[in-house]
Structure formats: C-alpha cells, structure tokens
Amino acid sequence: MYDLDILHIKYEDFVEKPVENTKKILNKMGLNFDVERLRAILDGINPNRKYAFFYKENLTKVYKQIRNDELLCKLGYDKLEI
C-alpha cells in the first residue's frame, strides 16, 4: 500500500519544547532554518498551557466523560491527573 513517513508530535510536547519540535518538523520537511530566529519566534509559547483545560470546570467535566475513549487511551490521555 503506502509507505508513510509520519512525524507524530502531541500538542503538549510541542508547547513544552517548541524549538526542538519545530526543528524536527522543519528537518522532516527538508527546510533550512536559523536557530536563533526560530527561538525568537517561538519564545512566546507558554509551556504551562499544555493542559490549560484543567483550569476550566466545564472542560474538565467533558474530559472526565471522554477520558476512556479508545483513541484517548491509545494516545495516553486517559492517564492525566486533574
């Protein structure tokens, strides 16, 4: 069938290490980049936002309802501690 070469990066991993993950993406695409410029662009990403929905009661209720969904379990989201 198809031989797909896919790069998987979870949102939480991206916001925790935006420069490193952007470098992975750009390298995968075969694009050149300036590391210092990349750092300047991505400097505003707040790694504390990775589970920001924890602080909204209505969103934590939704999470508790869907946390055992097959896909969420496969991606490891069923183990988050609120």
- CA–CA distance, 44 with 1 (Å, rounded to integer): 41
Q: Is 66 exposed, middle or buried (0-12, 13-18, 19+ CB in 10 A)?
A: exposed
State the DSSP code for 49.
Answer: G
Residue 1 pLDDT grade (very low, low, confident, very high; cuts 50, 70, 90): low
- Cβ neighbours of 22 (radius 10 Å): 19
Looking at residue 23, what is its pLDDT? 95
Residue 72 pLDDT grade (very low, low, confident, very high; cuts 50, 70, 90): very high
Enumerate the H helices of the chain as residue ranges: 11-16, 18-28, 35-42, 57-66, 70-74
| 51-64 tens-digit pLDDT | 999 999 999 999 99
| 18-62 tens-digit pLDDT | 999 999 999 999 999 999 999 999 999 999 888 999 999 999 999
